[in-house]
Structure formats: C-alpha cells, structure tokens
A and B are shown apart, each in its own frame.
Chain A
Amino acid sequence: MDYALQQLLNALAFGAEYSLVALGLAVVFSIMGLVNFAHGEIIGVSAYSVFLAAALGLTSPFVAVLLAVAAAALAAIAFERVAFRPVRYAPTTTGLLTAFGVSIVVQNLFMLLISPKPQSVSILNGLNQMWFFGAFAVSSLQVMELIVSGLTILALVLFLNRSTLGLAIRAASRDFATVRLMGIKANRVIATAFAISGALAGIAAVFIIARRGSVSPDLGFSLVLKAFVACVIGGFGSLAGAAAGGMLLGFIEVGLLVALPQEYGGFKDALTYVIIVALLVYRPEGLLGQRVELGDKEI
C-alpha cells in the first residue's frame, strides 16, 4: 500500500513538472507558432543565476526562488527580443531552427563562461526533506511540486480567463491579425506570453535545483525534450493538452519504472518514446488536438 502510494505520488510529481514546462512551450506556440527549443536554456539561465547568486554570498532560499523566476522571465523576454523577433512571421521550420540555434549558443556559453562540469548549488537543498505522516514517509519536494504546479496552472487559467491581457492572449492564439486590428499591441502580447512561459520555466528550475543540488550546461535540455513530447501527445498548441500530456507522460514513465525488471530499467526512455509514437499513430493530431480540415491552417 505504502509502495503504491509512493509511486502514485512520484507519477503525480513528475507529471506536474512536465506539465509546467510543457505549458510554457504551449503558451508561446499557440500565439506565435514558435516551437521554442530554447525553453530548456531558459531553465538553464534561471538555474545558473541562482548558482552565481549563491557563489556571491546569497543565503536566503526565499530570495533564491524569486531570483530564479525573475531571471527566467527576463531571459525569455530577452531571447524573444534578440532572436525570435526577426523570424516572427517566418514559417514554423525557420522559427524551430532559430530556437535550436539559440539553445546551442546558450548551452555552449555556460560551458565556455562557467564550466562544462556540473557545479554544486546547495542553497535550495532545505526544500528536499522527508515528511512523516504516521506510517507514511513522503518527500516534501514532491508534495510541494504538486501543490505549486497546481496553483500555478490555476493562476494561469484565471489570468487567461479574467484579465484583459489574458483575453488578448487567448484571442491572439486564434487570430493574431484581427487582434492587432483591435488596437492591441503585438509586441506587448508576445512579450507577456514569453514572460509567462519564462516564469513557468523558472518555477520548474527551482524544483530541479532543489532535487539535484547542482547545475550543468545541459540541465534543461532533456526535460524540454520530454515537454515537447507532452505537447505533441496533448495536441500542439492546446494548453489543456499540454498539461494533460505532461501528466500522462509522468504516469507512463513511473509505470514503466515499476513494471520493468531492474536489469531492463535503462530501456525506460526508449519504451516511453515508443509508447508516445504509438499514440501518435493512433491519433496524429494529439489527444486533445483538433483534426485539421483542409483549408484550415497547417499545424
């Protein structure tokens, strides 16, 4: 019983983390059609700024969390201004390859300016403790991850549904040209979308640093690969799809880990992707995506 509960919590926590990152991708994709490969490097910038702050003598974990989120939001806005604005109206492939380029540059800058090796950061280790509820022992980090992700997603939904800017963002994801005709500034909508996507990445970064206790140049890369997969199985561009896809991916991964015998554990990644691809054969447009009719925009 204890074991089953523990694995359920594992799956929920992993799923929550994938959902956070996948939502960040989906917010940007739904508005400007950009497949932001550099999202992992936003997590990286966030993590490295916490590392640098800690190295300069910052000791408060609370400030570190704020710094992580702020740095990520600023990095996202900066990437958009420098790299993605010139390709804003270009085809999807151009944007995707630009983001790929940004990702390579930033990863290698971490290597060049700081170190190719992982660097330890202990400032957020306090978040990772064991909590005891009678006979149950749960990791505080996982519980917090689940709660914080839930609250963040709730806040995002409220923002998108209740605020004017949120309305503008939702409208822009349907028809950007008309939104501009209504007098909404394109730059503001896109900058807000990037800031939101960055803040989501920053929250994910906090949990990553707390769990690993170190930062490395390729920190966000593999996580973002998973988030892409979450977006694709949910239906690219659909926010609900991204969140659901993330959760599903968390459950598939933990399920495989439980089901596979120890010596085949290494095949977890391969099998996860095989399952994903099989899902796509069944529903090419994703679980919550819409079937594109001829005459509609190609996704």
Chain B
Amino acid sequence: MSQTIENTAPTAVVVARPGSALTRSLIGGLVTSLPVLMVGLLILNFAPTYYTYLALGAFVNLIVVVGLQVFMGNSNIANLGHSAFVGLGAYGVAILSTPLAMKKLSIPNAPFGFATLQLDPVSSALIALIMVGIVAAVSGKVISRLSGVAATIVSLALLIIVHSVFLNWTNLFKGNQAFFGIPKVVGLPWMMVFSVVVIVLARLFKDSRWGLQLRASAQSPQAAAALGIDARGLRLMSWVLSALICGLAGVLYAYFAGTISPKLFYFQMIFNTLAMLILGGMATVTGAVTGVIVLSVGLEFIRSIESGVTIAGIQLPQLLGLSGVALGVVIVLCMAFRPSGISGRYEIDELLSRFFRRNAK
C-alpha cells in the first residue's frame, strides 16, 4: 500500500493524464522481462541442445510462477493447487491435438468421440484454455467465499481431485502411463514471447484498479469492505486469471516436450514453483522472475551433484533428495529471515527510478 502512496505523491500530475499510469506499468513489465529475454537470446544463439531443453523447462516454470503470483501476491492466500491447472492445460491439448494414428495406440477408447478428433495446435490450445477457465471459475467460486487457511486447503483439495481424475479416468487420460505423440510445435522463441506477454499481463493486473483493490482487501479486509470493495469478486477474478496463465504454461509444456504424465503436475511442481515465488518475493512480478532465475540455476547445480559427481578424483555417491532438502531449507530460511523475499516490496523499475531520482538531486 505504502508504495503506491510514495509513487504517486511526487508525480501528482499523473492523475490529470489518464493513460500514463498504464504506460508506466507497461514499461515496468517490459523492464522486468528484459533479463528473461536476454537469457533466452543467449541460450538461443550460443548454447548446446541440452541447455535449450533445460531453458524450455525453466521458462515453463517462469510462466507458472508468474501465474501463481497473480493470485498469491495480490490476495495473500497461499495456493497449493495451481499445478492442477498446468496439468489440465497440458492434457487438454494432448487430447485435442495428438495425431489420430497416435491416438489409436494411446487412447482408442476415449469417450465423447475424442479418439477420432484431431484439431490444429492453435484451436486445441484455445479450447484447452477455455476448459481451464471453466474449471477455474467453478473452483474459484468456492475459494473466493473462503479466506486464509480454508481457502488454501480447498486449493489443495482441487489438486488432489484433478490428479485423481488423471490417474483413474484411464480411457481419456491414460492413467499413470505417459501420454505421448503430442505435436512438438513450440520452441524457445515462442516460449520467450509468451513469457514476456505473461509478465506484462501480471504487472498490468497488479497495477490495475482491481489489483490495487485486491491487495488492499488482503491487507485489511474490514477497511476494504468499508470502502465498498468486493473482495470475493476480485479474488475470483485473480484466481481465474492465475489459472489461465498456469494453463497456458501447461499447453506450452505439452507442445515442447511431446510427452506428459500425471506425476509431472503434482506435489513436485508445487514445491518447486512455490519455493521460487517465495524466494523471489511474492509481492511483486519482479520477485517471481528473480526467484525462477535464481532457483533454476541453483537447482540445476545441485542436481548435478545429486546424481553422483567426481571431485578431485573421488567419486561421490548418489545423493537422492538433496535438491528437495535444499528447496525446503530455502523456504524455511527465507520465511525466518526475509519473508518478503529477495525483491521485497518494490518492482525493479520502481527501484531503478528511485535510484536515478536520488542521484539526480
């Protein structure tokens, strides 16, 4: 809250010129996505295939974390169910766009004529996102009625329900087995484009009238209600937007990996993305981006140790679980010493403009 006061106070002219606040948060979003673009371009031009694959995974995580920030950062309700939407997006396009020949092998008994249906990747993605939106709207109706812990537990229930359906509706989702043969149509360039779009979108939502009202209602429900803010409606809105972004991440994942399985979209993904958001700081979009960059690099390093590494001629044993311990320790230490995360309360462009203003004086 205080940041908006500090920001608007010296530039009161802003109020008189509608549209410039929009421009400012648009530019802010683009500044936030600059490091992402740079990393992407470097990898695109110089890195070997292995790193490109890693980067694609990291970009998917980035989109998920930004989606998570849209809900958690603004409403301050912990969401432990977002990977359900990633899974729904991924399975949605898998069922719609997989070539018929492949479907004959994998889901010959699919209901509703899905076994004989094949759409192009773009319309598959759109339909999958509409499905995600519907599920989000229904679950959001429940979540927005609750606050605090109860809302978190319902988000967890959603995750378990969706996972259980993936596992048990074997005719449609192939159960525990991997779903293969999804057309691989997304590469790094598209992934970068969508990442930038999503970052800017999250920033625009945060700075919008709705985002501001939602953040206000999260800080003081009574005061916000007294000002006539409809906290439920806003929570629902941010829940659906967050779900759609997560769904998009799932769609992109399916389109670059070509193979998906239910366990990808369960607690492991929740752990990873939540740790990234917490470490970076969930109050800002900058925080989401920072967390993804720092933890992606850190975890990749730990994973290389985990699989057994030779240091100075000594072969270390396999250390399964090391990356999990590191993730948990990051969360615990962060909560104890810096609950607001690396980036704290300010977006990167806000920090930069303060820095330059101070130096100009």
Residues of A within 8 A of B (CB): 29, 35, 83, 86-87, 90-94, 96-98, 100-112, 116, 217, 225, 228-229, 231-232, 236, 264, 266-267, 269-270, 273-274, 276-277, 280-281, 284-286, 294-295, 298-299
Do residues B148 and A111 form an inter-chain contact, with CB atoms below 8 A?
Answer: no
Number of interface residues, chain B, beta carbon within 8 A = 48
Do residues A104 and B156 form an inter-chain contact, with CB atoms below 8 A?
Answer: no
Identify which of A94, A103, A264 gathers the most chain B CB atoms within 10 Å of its CB.
A94
* A277/B157 contact (C-beta < 8 A), A92-B148, A108-B321, A111-B320 known: yes
Q: Which residue of B lies closest to A236 (CB)?
A: B149
In B136-175, the 8 Å CB interface with A consists of: 141-142, 145-150, 152-154, 156-158, 160-161, 164-165, 167-168
**Cβ-based interface call for B324 (8 A):** yes
For residue B83, give the distance in angstroms from its CB to the closest CB of chain A.
Answer: 14
Do residues B222 and A92 form an inter-chain contact, with CB atoms below 8 A?
Answer: no
In the bound complex, CA of A193 to CA of B153 (Å)? 22
Q: List 29 A-B contacts (CB under 8 A).
A: A86-B335, A87-B335, A91-B76, A94-B335, A96-B149, A98-B331, A98-B335, A102-B328, A102-B332, A105-B324, A106-B328, A107-B321, A107-B324, A109-B321, A111-B321, A112-B321, A228-B156, A232-B149, A232-B153, A232-B154, A236-B149, A267-B164, A267-B165, A270-B164, A273-B158, A284-B145, A294-B225, A299-B147, A299-B149
Interface string of B334-351 (1 = CB under 8 A from A): 011101000000000000
Do residues A269 and B164 form an inter-chain contact, with CB atoms below 8 A?
Answer: yes
In the bound complex, CA of A108 to CA of B319 (Å)? 10
For residue A200, give the distance in angstroms from its CB to the closest CB of chain B.
Answer: 19
Query: Which residues of the partner chain B approach A97 to less than 8 Å between Cβ atoms?
Result: 78, 274, 278, 331, 335
* A105/B329 contact (C-beta < 8 A), A228-B156, A273-B157, A277-B157 known: yes
In the bound complex, CA of A24 to CA of B56 (Å)? 42
Do residues B328 and A103 form an inter-chain contact, with CB atoms below 8 A?
Answer: yes
For residue B147, give the distance in angstroms from its CB to the closest CB of chain A.
Answer: 6
Interface string of B190-209 (1 = CB under 8 A from A): 00000000000000000000
* A269/B149 contact (C-beta < 8 A), A104-B324, A277-B142 known: no
Which residue of B146, B160, B321, B329 contacts A273 across the interface (Cβ within 8 Å)?
B160
Query: Which residues of the partner chain A approach B336 to less than 8 Å between Cβ atoms?
Result: 83, 86-87, 98
Which residue of A96, A101, A231, A277 contacts B332 across the interface (Cβ within 8 Å)?
A101
* A281/B145 contact (C-beta < 8 A), A87-B336, A97-B331, A101-B332 known: yes
Our count of residue pairs bridging A and B at CB distance below 8 angstroms stands at 147
Query: Which residues of the partner chain A approach B320 to less than 8 Å between Cβ atoms?
Result: 111-112, 116
Query: Which residues of the partner chain A approach B147 to less than 8 Å between Cβ atoms?
Result: 298-299
In the bound complex, CA of A102 to CA of B332 (Å)? 7
Do residues A281 and B150 form an inter-chain contact, with CB atoms below 8 A?
Answer: no
Query: Which residues of the partner chain B approach A29 to less than 8 Å between Cβ atoms?
Result: 149
Query: Which residues of the partner chain A approach B160 to less than 8 Å between Cβ atoms?
Result: 225, 269-270, 273
**Cβ-based interface call for B271 (8 A):** yes
Identify which of A87, A236, A273 gathers the most chain B CB atoms within 10 Å of its CB.
A273
Apart from the given pairs A101-B332, A277-B157, 7 other A-B contacts in the complex at a CB distance below 8 Å: A102-B328, A104-B331, A108-B321, A112-B319, A267-B168, A269-B164, A294-B222
Do residues A83 and B332 form an inter-chain contact, with CB atoms below 8 A?
Answer: yes
In the bound complex, CA of A110 to CA of B77 (Å)? 30
Do residues A104 and B157 form an inter-chain contact, with CB atoms below 8 A?
Answer: no
Do residues B328 and A35 form an inter-chain contact, with CB atoms below 8 A?
Answer: no
* A101/B142 contact (C-beta < 8 A), A267-B168, A299-B149 known: no
Do residues A108 and B157 form an inter-chain contact, with CB atoms below 8 A?
Answer: no
In the bound complex, CA of A274 to CA of B164 (Å)? 11
Main SS of chain A's interface residues?
helix
Q: Which residue of B lies closest to A217 (CB)?
A: B321
In the bound complex, CA of A86 to CA of B336 (Å)? 6
In the bound complex, CA of A98 to CA of B329 (Å)? 9
Which residue of A92, A217, A266, A273 contacts B168 across the interface (Cβ within 8 Å)?
A266
* A280/B222 contact (C-beta < 8 A), A83-B336, A93-B78 known: no
Q: Which residue of A lies closest to B138 (CB)?
A: A277
In the bound complex, CA of A269 to CA of B161 (Å)? 7
Which residue of B141, B150, B335, B339 contacts A286 across the interface (Cβ within 8 Å)?
B150
In the bound complex, CA of A100 to CA of B275 (Å)? 10
For residue A31, give the distance in angstroms from its CB to the closest CB of chain B.
Answer: 15
In the bound complex, CA of A299 to CA of B151 (Å)? 10
Q: Which residue of B lies closest to A295 (CB)?
A: B222
In the bound complex, CA of A112 to CA of B305 (Å)? 13
**Cβ-based interface call for B311 (8 A):** no
Interface string of B309-337 (1 = CB under 8 A from A): 00000000001111111011111100111
* A105/B142 contact (C-beta < 8 A), A94-B335, A98-B336, A232-B153 known: no
Q: Which residue of B lies closest to A274 (CB)?
A: B161
**Cβ-based interface call for B221 (8 A):** yes
Query: Which residues of the partner chain B approach A229 to less than 8 Å between Cβ atoms?
Result: 153, 157
Query: Which residues of the partner chain A approach B339 to less than 8 Å between Cβ atoms?
Result: 87, 90, 94
* A109/B325 contact (C-beta < 8 A), A92-B149, A93-B78, A299-B148 known: yes
* A98/B319 contact (C-beta < 8 A), A266-B167, A270-B164, A276-B157 known: no
Do residues A108 and B322 form an inter-chain contact, with CB atoms below 8 A?
Answer: yes
Do residues B167 and A96 form an inter-chain contact, with CB atoms below 8 A?
Answer: no
Do residues A228 and B322 form an inter-chain contact, with CB atoms below 8 A?
Answer: no
Q: Which residue of B lies closest to A270 (CB)?
A: B164
In the bound complex, CA of A247 to CA of B319 (Å)? 41
In the bound complex, CA of A181 to CA of B164 (Å)? 49
